[in-house]
Amino acid sequence: MVFTDRHDAGKKLAGKLQHYANQKDVLVLALPRGGVPVAFEVAQKLHLPLDIFIVRKLGLPGQEELAIGAIASGGTLVLNEELVRQLRLSRATIDSITVREEEELARREELYRRGRSPHKLNGKRIILVDDGLATGASMKAAALAIKDYSPAKIIVAVPVAAAETCSEFQSLVDEVVCFTTPDPFWAVGNWYANFNQTSDNEVETLLDKAARDEIS
């Protein structure tokens, strides 16, 4: 194991991002839910504001763990076109999956923000954080969506990733920080002693604390 839990992972990841500490134009964006505890520690260590950017994987019906794509806040849709062709998925099937996940995305936006407005992304250096990258589908959707907001820079930062996935992001964003890229990789959860699912309540609690710290 490399990390005790997501909080431990965030503290270690922050060490690789020290050059962004206390910079007024930098914003940490977490991918809920698992990315929030990691991003919270990064934001705390670097004295940066924290916000969320919600992404939902589009899981194949009956095999939800198999992602055929993802949607992100703002409506960006990213599909694994090769997989869609292999599975011969109809447009109607894709639309049905997308509508269901859009509803969950909207639910989480309302639940987590509690009326708080999203931070402005235009002109900011954005540190996008998740608890790890396997295929990278969710992070890719987030990165592509954020480009539409004209940020100054996009940095993808994760505690653990498959080496090939980490490399793929080099051409998609401005900077990629992967704390460790074990080989063989297996799965993100293999590198955490505690990889219990992050609850909605934990997300709300951490975002509330980050918002209070920002105001004070």
Task: Confirm whether 63 is domain-assigned.
Answer: yes
pTM of the model: 0.89
**Which distant-in-sequence residues (6+ apart) come within 8 Å of 71 by Cβ?**
55, 56, 58, 77, 78, 98, 101, 102, 105, 141
Task: Confirm whether 66 is domain-assigned.
Answer: yes
Instruction: Report whether 185 contacts 134 (CB < 8 A).
Output: yes
Each residue's pLDDT, cut to its tens digit, for the chain (216 residues) gives 789 999 999 999 999 999 999 999 999 999 999 999 999 999 999 999 999 999 888 888 888 778 888 888 877 888 888 889 998 999 999 999 999 899 989 898 889 988 888 899 999 999 999 999 988 888 988 998 899 899 999 999 999 999 999 999 999 999 999 999 999 999 999 999 999 999 999 999 999 999 888 876
Letter for the amino acid at 145?
Answer: A
Give me the number of domains the chain comprises: 2
Instruction: Report whether 78 contacts 114 (CB < 8 A).
Output: no
Check whether residue 142 and residue 193 sit in a common domain: yes
Domain boundary among 45, 80, 111: 111
What does residue 86 show for φ and ψ, rounded to 5 degrees? -60, -40
Check whether residue 86 and residue 169 sit in a common domain: no
Q: What is the pLDDT of residue 162?
A: 93
Check whether residue 45 and residue 64 sit in a common domain: no
Q: What is the pLDDT of residue 216?
A: 65
134 burial via Cβ count (<10 Å: 0-12, 13-18, 19+)? middle
SS (H, E, C) the chain: CCECCHHHHHHHHHHHHHHHCCCCCEEEEECCCCHHHHHHHHHHHHCCCEEECCEEEEEECCEEEEEEEEEECCCCEEECHHHHHHHCCCHHHHHHHHHHHHHHHHHHHHHHHCCCCCCCCCCCEEEEECCCECCCHHHHHHHHHHHCCCCCEEEEEEEEECHHHHHHHHHCCCEEEEEECCCCCCCHHHHECCCCCCCHHHHHHHHHHHHHHHHC
What's the alpha-carbon Rg for the chain, to the nearest Å? 17
Q: What is the pLDDT of residue 183?
A: 92
Task: Confirm whether 94 is domain-assigned.
Answer: yes
Task: Confirm whether 1 is domain-assigned.
Answer: no
What domain range is 72 assigned to? Answer: 57-111
